[in-house]
Amino acid sequence: MTTRDETTETFWDLLADVGRLQAKLSETFVAWAQANEANARAFQRNAETLQLMVEIGRRAEQSMQFLADPMQAMGTPSAAAAGDPFARFWEAWRAAAESRNPSHSERRQ
């Protein structure tokens, strides 16, 4: 048999304990929420940094293309596609020589 002198936990005592535990748990949840918010902000900044890296990379690639072949970068046909300067000179000279001396080109064929 129980006496009134014994300490027994009542429903209200248990409810008070649950309230204290929930208060501590809510502090933990708040700390986790703050940590997750900081992580989300870091991910956003990382995404912004990656976008800047892409933009800089594309601009650097365009700059390198301009340095490698300025005519193509400006939208004109590439000098490399037309052949080297000596080959173009040779073809122009040969065409001029053949136009001055048509019998020479007939002998070659």
pTM of this prediction exceeds 0.85:
no
Any domain includes 1 = no
- pLDDT tens string for the chain (109 positions)? 455 545 677 999 999 999 999 999 999 999 999 999 999 999 999 999 999 999 999 999 888 888 887 766 666 665 555 567 777 778 888 888 888 876 655 555 5
Q: What is the pLDDT of residue 26?
A: 95
Any domain includes 108 = yes
From CA 17, how far away is CA 25, in angstroms rounded?
A: 12
From CA 43, how far away is CA 52, in angstroms rounded?
A: 14
Domain boundary among the residues 50, 68, 86 is at: 68
- Are 20 and 52 within one domain? yes
Other beta carbons within 10 angstroms of residue 22's beta carbon come to: 11
Write out the residue range of the structural domain in which residue 81 sits: 77-109
- Are 63 and 18 within one domain? yes
From CA 29, how far away is CA 35, in angstroms rounded?
A: 10
